Amino acid sequence: MTLSTFTRRAALGAIGSLAASAALAQGNTPRTVRLGYQKSSTLIAVLRLQGTLEQRLAPLGATLSWHEFTSGLPLLEALNLDNLDFSADVADTVPVFAQAAGAQLTFVAQEAPSPTAQAILVRSDSPLKSVSELKGKRVGFAKAAGAHYLLLAALEKAGLSFSDIEPAYLTPADGRAAFERGAIDAWVVWDPFLSAAQKQAGARVLADGTGLASYQRYYLASTRFAQARPDVLGVIYTELEKTGRWVKQNPKEAAALLAPFWGLDAGIVEQANGRRSYAVRPVTPQNITEQQKIADDFLAEKLLPRRVNATDVALFKPQV
């Protein structure tokens, strides 16, 4: 991506902002923010429990509606279909699948890498000791999730390809059930499901993302909404950044707040939160460039329907 291309995009963004201002003046600006999240959307969960976003958005004449999803792919599918305005954090793999489906995405924020917050698990009594032993085995994971890319990267390092395993596309809840009853040989999953499986089911880590997948999580909006309500996105960005710092500085208090909401023991939540960076930062062109390798790796395994240009997205610029 050349500087001139980003300059053109910046100009288009400015035009979009002018259009948004015109919409504001005409009273056509969206008033209800349809916000999608998943169980691993920690910072959004804290904000919801504390009622912070409702309080901060009220002076802007905006209200919130909350929509829970099982994983990142259906969340961004809803964003693409204009059934959502804003998506809480999804793994870095998910946007490339949404782009392949033609989604018009605006990247609002990114969490710094958290490679140990996802892992390939086996049961405590499993004979498997290395990733190379997954050949011919049935492995469960959520399609397009960060876990999916971790599996690809781990298999490649072990000298295997995706075709060497038997994939089982499972939601986290279905994956846990299949894992415990032995219907799958390994399970690739992220926190807090990872910590729950370790503490409750004695799961053993075969490999985590260290040196394989950085596991950066992104917050996104539909480009239509980003152009219409940059004021709302600015508030959300600011509160995410503050909440990320609070969770890391107050691990026990944060775990106590989230535990009943997630239906998990506070110790599990604290362990899971300890693996996530929660360092919210603006998305830069360099960040998006890293997405290209993910997209190309999925395409090479014939798991992506077409090649995508990972940089062909809009970037929200918060006032920081």
Structural domain boundaries in the chain: 3-113+216-315, 115-208
Whole-number pLDDT of residue 7? 29
Say how far apart CA 29 and CA 147 lie, in whole Å: 37
Name residues of the chain where pLDDT drops below 70: 1-28, 320
Helix axes of 230-249 and 42-50: crossing angle, nearest 10 degrees: 100
Whole-number pLDDT of residue 287? 80
Q: Are 218 and 283 in contact (CB under 8 A)?
A: yes
Whole-number pLDDT of residue 59? 96
Say how far apart CA 128 and CA 294 lie, in whole Å: 27
Q: Tell me the three-class secondary structure of 37-86, residue by residue.
A: EECCCHHHHHHHHHCHHHHHHHHHCCEEEEEEECCHHHHHHHHHCCCCCE
Whole-number pLDDT of residue 319? 81
Question: Closest by alpha carbon to 119, among 211, 252, 218?
Answer: 211
How far CA 206 is from CA of 129, 193, 196, 213, in Å, comes to: 7, 16, 16, 14
Residues 115-208: name the CATH superfamily. Periplasmic binding protein-like II (3.40.190.10)
For residue range 224-269, list pLDDT tens digits in order: 999 999 999 999 999 999 999 999 999 999 999 999 999 999 999 9
Whole-number pLDDT of residue 117? 98
Name the amino acid, one letter, at 306.
R
Residues 3-113+216-315: name the CATH superfamily. Periplasmic binding protein-like II (3.40.190.10)
CB atoms within 10 A of CB 278: 22
